[in-house]
Structure 1
Amino acid sequence: MKYISKFYIVFLAMLSLTLQVSCQKKNADNLSFFENYQNENLDNQTSNEDVFKLPNIDLSHWKVTLPVGKPTEVYPPEILSYATNETLKPFFYNDSINGALVLYAYPNSSTANSSYSRCELRELMNPPNNDKNWTFAQGGRMKGTLSMGAISKDAAGKYHKTIIMQIHGRLTNAQRDLIGAKDNNAPPMLKIYWENGRVRIKTKVLKNLNATETEMLHEEAWDDDEGYTIPIDVGFEKFTLEVIVSEGKMEVILNDTFSVMYDSIHIKKWGIFENYFKAGNYLTTLDKDAFANVKYYELEVSH
């Protein structure tokens, strides 16, 4: 019995030692697994952070008009916090995967001089004021990289259209008072549409080339030209648009290669107006359930 007891004690001691070694190995394996898992998670997190992108747009010289309110307009510096602004978030937000600023619009509120809704940026040379603008003689350039994110179709199955860039005219206070206008609004010299997957350009022409300078200040003195559609499909892909203006000239360039030049007498006559650039999503339909979202990846203006 003594021999058996001694043997049993030795056996238990060896078993205990084996279990301790086994547990230590298992704990080491678990620690190694946890460390590997943690490292993989950190790698994945870093990879995901690398995927997140922001648009290359300085909003400090822009205000935005929303398709709600009377309508609602948001100026700098408030617009700079658009990512957390509850008023802006439904219409003006980041696509952080593709690095775009999304501008969403649907038929709802419109400005005083339009029937259509928009989510559209308006250039401000002296933010937050609208009073400083530019003439063609002073010149200007706007360049944007953008794409159509999504857009509704009409009853016939055709895509709705939206204005993605503008040069808008503006009366000076002196011009406004001279013709007795109710505000400083003047016609848009340039409207660039996304229309059925292509870029369409419309400009203004003077109805009477012999009109006096005062007569030319009236909106009804101007008419739309017949328009021009650039014969290149952009569809829902990313593309670049550039607008360059100088005295008596206006040029629209698609993808740095296709140029449309305007240098007629109508452009020269337009020199009496001040102007400002606009960019975004000005949805030109009142159809129920219509919508569009336009994505801007880059947008810059210089004078």
Structure 2
Amino acid sequence: MLNITKDKTKVLLQFNFFKTYTLKLVLIITVTLFVCACSGNNNSTEVPEEIEDDQILDEQTTPEEADESSYTLPEIDLNNWKVTLPVSENGRPIEVEPPEILNYANNEVLKPFMYNDSINGALVFYTYPGATTPNSSYSRTELREQMNPGSNSTNWTFKEGGRMKGTLSLDSISKDGDGDYHRTMVMQIHGRLTNEQRDLIGENDNNAPPMLKIYWQDGYIRVVTKALKDTSVSDTELLYTSAWEDGASHIFPDKVNFEKFSLEIKASEGKIEVVLNETESKIFESVHIDKWGVFENYFKAGNYLQSTDEDSYASVKYYKLDVVH
């Protein structure tokens, strides 16, 4: 007489040891008899559905395999980006370039400031007041475009054009003494002097002003462009940072708060367009942008905290980031 165990789970687990179709049918008959024996109270004679092979394989999936299948990585290619951190070495902020940046998940210097949120598929940029670049009083965990990986020397002009699109969210940010959120810059178009321009005006570096700055500010997205203080200056005089000031700005009316949103920057000769969530667009066209054509440029993206308060901080998540020229 066939001895049927009362532990249905044990019987089901025995399926893993049968591989041929004949043995599988025998096992199904056994389960059917078991169900009938255990269902005397309701006189049920329902036959269980046949268990498919892929269901058996699912039962054999290890916890490690299940965890790996739940990981989601950001859609960001870091081959053409370097990152600047709020910590210093030899008196200057640490920068990590390609190819080292590609291994950010295992880089002990990068881990506190640039890491994966694998649940939401984001690359997190965390920063606080710390090391600053020579031309700023604020610190950052921010990517800088490198068209030629590992080099800052190859850049683009507005005549050549460029487009950057990202999907991001403000994860967390501190508040000031009045209870208002601090602000952080999440995207830029930054200017750069060529070596010839640098030497012409006697500068000791290639820094030029940022033509476009995009802030997360009180839950809104604020865009600021640069303008010449005097539009009649010569092409040489406008190379000086002091020739420029903040100009036209725009705050998109739809509040993003801490939700995911998309931002796209389109730069072309004499024109900048910024698009929020693929629905709201702001176009900047002016003599100032025409004049800006003398500069080289590069894109920046990340978390550039606009606070020096001791306990301030910000965390920005990027889910996607793409650049086209």
Give the alignment's TM-score, normalised by structure 1.
Answer: 0.88
Q: Is 1:282 aligned with 2:304?
A: yes
Aligned match of 1:163: 185
Letter in 1 for 2:161: G
Aligned match of 1:122: 144
Aligned match of 2:110: 88
**DSSP-derived class of the 1:216 partner:** helix
**DSSP-derived class of the 1:71 partner:** strand
CA RMSD, Structure 1 to Structure 2 (Å): 2.2
Distance in 2 (CA, whole Å) between partners of 1:226 and 1:139 is: 20
Higher helix share: 1
1:39 deviation in Å?
A: 4.9
What does residue range 211-226 of structure 1 map to in structure 2 within 5 Å?
211-225=233-247
What does residue range 164-203 of structure 1 map to in structure 2 within 5 Å?
164-203=186-225
Structure 1 regions of 5+ residues with no counterpart? Answer: 1-17
1:42 deviation in Å?
A: 2.2
Distance in 1 (CA, whole Å) between partners of 2:111 and 2:265 is: 29
Larger radius of gyration: 1
Q: Is 1:136 aligned with 2:158?
A: yes
Letter in 2 for 1:55: P
> After superposition, what is the alpha-carbon deviation per residue over 1:12-34, rounded to whole angstroms, capped at 9, x for unaligned?
xxxxxx9xx86x84799646458
Aligned match of 2:38: none
Structure 2 regions of 5+ residues with no counterpart? Answer: 17-54
Distance in 2 (CA, whole Å) between partners of 1:225 and 1:40 is: 62
Query: Sequence identity of aligned pairs in percent?
Result: 58
Distance in 2 (CA, whole Å) between partners of 1:37 and 1:87 is: 44
Distance 1:30 1:105, change over 3 A: same
1:127 deviation in Å?
A: 1.1
Task: Number of aligned residue pairs: give it.
Answer: 283
Distance in 2 (CA, whole Å) between partners of 1:29 and 1:223 is: 74
1:225 deviation in Å?
A: 1.5
**DSSP-derived class of the 2:93 partner:** coil
**DSSP-derived class of the 2:109 partner:** coil
Distance in 2 (CA, whole Å) between partners of 1:29 and 1:296 is: 45
> After superposition, what is the alpha-carbon deviation per residue over 1:193-219, rounded to whole angstroms, capped at 9, x for unaligned?
000001001110001111000000000
Aligned match of 2:229: 207
Contact 2:5 2:11 in 1 (8 A): no
Distance in 2 (CA, whole Å) between partners of 1:234 and 1:43 is: 40
> After superposition, what is the alpha-carbon deviation per residue over 1:66-118, rounded to whole angstroms, capped at 9, x for unaligned?
11112100000000001111111110000000000000000011111111110
Q: Is 1:243 aligned with 2:265?
A: yes
1:288 deviation in Å?
A: 1.0
